[in-house]
Amino acid sequence: MHISKKQKYILAGIILVEIIIGIFFIKIDMSAIAEPPAKLKHIFGFAIPMNGINISTILNTWLIMVVLILSSWKITRHLTPVPSRLQVIAEQYVSAFDKLCEEVLGSGKGRKYMPMVSTLFIFILVANSIGAIPSFWHIFSGFPSWLKFDEPTKDLNTTLGFGLLCFLVAHISGIYYKGFKKYLSEYFEPMIEIGRLRIPNLFMGMLNIVGEFGKTISHSFRLFGNMLGSAIIILVISNLTKYIVMPVFLNAFFGLFIGAIQAFVFAMLALVYVSVMINE
């Protein structure tokens, strides 16, 4: 794609501003990683379980949803036979995930799960990358510290929500395609055979049930651990180098590069879990 000289100057100016902000204004507070700076602990006088809700996570999650919804509406509002650049990008994105889902699940089933898998990827990608955007209002005093762009995926509640979504979709799909009897019997295989009598293997059943919950936990903790680990690495390197290595560049590396990999891994694991549950 050709970039004009004017666009190059604009891009260079943005990078220069980010470097200046990163050197002189952005400081990473360990307390923001270990414990959220602001939590909502009561609603209408009732205490919220699990020590409250992280306000920054909620705000950033809703911000990402609004941006993605408006972007989708903007791209699909005027589809034309001769596509614009945005339409080409959107079509290539949808086609890539449609092909991937059909290769894993088959031509008859892949398209049904393509919207979920592609949405998971783009949402987690943006969620992982949003922390790379400098919080310009931190330059001025008087603004609360939780009003900043922060990765919702650093919050375990977010990743557990994604994991539970994948868990429910996979198991409901398994019941739908296999029938409840066959779906349930697979947990107790291999059966104990006494003559013609086949008895469910309760030991294997317990192991399989624990294993299914373990998949959900590991699926969620993988994303959470990588994003929280990235934030800690940024903190440690920035303090060791006295901010000679700019947090902006570290955020860009972990948010864009590592964040894209983790988003793809999460989406592919969700697709594989569905494939395991619905295939014979």
- pLDDT score recorded for residue 141: 53
In this prediction, residue 30 has a pLDDT band, given cuts at 50, 70 and 90, of very low
- pLDDT score recorded for residue 164: 93
In this prediction, residue 240 has a pLDDT band, given cuts at 50, 70 and 90, of low
Q: In the chain, where are the structural domains located?
A: 5-278
Does residue 181 have a pLDDT over 80?
A: yes
Q: What secondary structure, in 3-state letters, does the chain show?
A: CCCCHHHHHHHHHHHHHHHHHHHHCCCCCHHHHHCCCCEECEECCEECCCCCEEHHHHHHHHHHHHHHHHHHHHHHHCCCCCCCHHHHHHHHHHHHHHHHHHHHHCCCCHHHHHHHHHHHHHHHHHHHHHHHCCCHHHHCCCCCCCCCCCCHHHCHHHHHHHHHHHHHHHHHHHHHHHCHHHHHHHHHCCCEEECCEEECCHHHHHHHHHHHHHHHHHHHHHHHHHHHHHHHHHHHHHHHCCCCCCHHHHHHHHHHHHHHHHHHHHHHHHHHHHHHHHCC
Entry pTM: 0.79
What integer is the mean pLDDT of 99-120?
89
Mean pLDDT of the chain: 78
More confident residue, 195 or 60: 60
CA-nearest of 104, 100, 108, 159 to 277 is: 104
Does residue 214 have a pLDDT over 50?
A: yes
What integer is the mean pLDDT of 62-84?
88
The percentage of the chain sitting over the pLDDT mark of 70, rounded to a whole number, equals: 70
The tens digit of pLDDT for each residue in 126-157 reads: 998 887 776 555 555 556 666 677 888 888 88
